[in-house]
Structure 1
Amino acid sequence: MSQLSHLLYVRAPSSKMRNTFLSLSSAYSATASPKPKCSLSRVCPPDHFALYIRSGAANVVGPKICFDGKIIMSHVLNNVGPGLNIVVVNGENGVVEKFGYLNMKTGNPQEILTYLKEIKPGMIVLVASFDDITTKLTNEMRNLFVGMGSTFIKSIKRKDNWVFAGRAGTQNRSLFEKQAFNDDRTNIYEGWPDMVEVSGCFPRTIRQVCHL
């Protein structure tokens, strides 16, 4: 065999070698380290979901909501709108039940209230503001968010930015909430505060078992 042909010659692996290679490949795939989701810096524990929520910027750039590695709502997807952009997730299995935006400028307050009341206990609720959310925001609506763990919703005023992740049917204070105040001294856009964002690992809902 010439030197050139020797360089081009590749020996076909035996069946034993192929099986060994496949076993090693399968083992590598099974043990490959999982990657962080929603641009987090770490991987969430198995009993938690990764999330990232960013409010809109003024009334120009829409918000963004990512859950468990998937962007559900964003300006790029063209599925956001003025008001409360909201994603409702089954807290046990992480399935997105519904999403959309509640128009807090021209929407029907009764329909908005009905939508919020229909969110079942245990559901994870992700919210990002866009534009002004206070025009149609009633005290009853604020109290419903308090029942999901919000502590800032009571103080939201005109043109404030707000992001929140909570759980329906709980009175426990959520750690996933931020607010930017509309203040002429600190606003970075023309008459609007800076956008706000929250991210992290949100605990899965644990089903309560009743023992008779």
Structure 2
Amino acid sequence: MKRVSLGWVCRQGGCLGLAVFMGVGLYGVFHFFFVPPPQPRVTLYIGNTTALFPFLGDGERDAGSPMQVGEIQPNCGLEEVCPDHHFPVHVYSGKSKDDRPRVCVSGKYIIEKDINKGGRGINIVLVDARRMKAVVARRFDTYAGDSTELERFLKQEVVDRDIVVAVTFDEASRNLSPAARNLLADLGSSQIQNLQFRGQWFMVSQKGAKGFSPYEDLKASKGGLWSPVNERFCVAQQCKGRHEAIADPRQPE
């Protein structure tokens, strides 16, 4: 029987290892240059990073200017995934002036403290109904300033089919003009006329929808203290207004 030397075995093993190493390397080079990477199932935005949101093209509404994205929270904290043609929303009005307002749309916080200037007054996010993505975030300090910019915004920048997510923080009633209240009522609010000192209010509505918003609440302050709004819900891509609510009378402008 022919005896196989240890040196021969080592040489053969070394050649085999080298062949495997070269094969794996060549496969890696081929895969890197010629195989497209798998598409991610979810695109995450790094917190506190300014980026155009959403991307332009394919009929999406232009965001117009960079927006910041804060915390990423899948489904905005809802336990159940929203049905088709719905998207998750979380609105929080804060429990004191040292707290922060929060608005989450489709898993991304668009309004927070130091995110898109969220703060005192009325915070508004516009959502492109077609893509169910936030495209505009603004804050109007109707405590320290007047309602001129808010009125202009509601008249000129909110277009048909825009979904409007609005929530107050701290104090928003002091300089909220009758004209601004009436414009918000035209968007579907049945309760904005009742907003008073340190009252907390939110509404989600769609421009062009008939009737009153199905997503709205107003909480009066208690002894000058805040009664925070803190709601999570699914919003329909095409909102249907309620007709049973009775709105407060419009105010003379």
The 3 A distance-change label for structure 1 pair 138 and 76 is: closer
Gaps of 5+ in 1: 1-25, 30-34, 185-190, 207-212
- Partner SS, residue 77 of structure 2: coil
Identity of aligned residues (%): 26
Q: How does 1:9-24 map to 2 (within 5 A)?
A: none
Matches within 5 A, 1:82-161: 82-118=120-156, 119-161=158-200
Aligned-residue CA RMSD (Å)? 2.3
Q: How does 1:195-206 map to 2 (within 5 A)?
A: 195-205=228-238
Computing the radius of gyration from Cα coordinates, the structure with the larger value is 2
Question: How many pairs were matched up?
Answer: 169
What pairs with 1:60-71 in structure 2 (closer than 5 Å)? 60-71=98-109
Unpaired runs of at least 5, structure 2:
1-37, 42-72, 240-253
Q: CA offset at residue 169 of structure 1? A: 2.5
Distance 1:109 1:61 in 2: 23
1:175 Cα offset (Å) = 2.1
The 3-state SS of whatever aligns with 1:133 is coil
State the secondary structure of the residue aligned to 1:38: helix
Alpha-carbon distance in 2 for matches of 1:163, 1:111: 19
Shift of residue 52, structure 1, vs aligned partner:
0.7
1:56 aligns with 2:94: yes
Q: Deviations over 1:108-156 (max 9, x none)?
A: 4222210111211211111111121112211221121122221111111
TM-score with structure 1 setting the length? 0.72
Q: TM-score, normalised by structure 2?
A: 0.61
For residues 179 and 94 of structure 1, the distance between their equivalents in structure 2, rounded to whole angstroms, comes to: 25
Paired residue type of 1:131? D
Code of the aligned partner of 2:215: F
**Following TM superposition, by how much is the alpha carbon of 1:76 offset from its aligned partner in structure 2, in angstroms?**
6.4
SS at match of 1:115: helix
**Alignment of structure 1 residues 31-50 onto 2, 5 Å:** 37-50=75-88
Kindly state the Cα deviation for residue 84 of structure 1 after the two structures are TM-superposed: 0.3
Q: Identify which of 169, 180, 196 aligns with 2:208.
A: 169
For 1:83, the aligned partner's letter is G
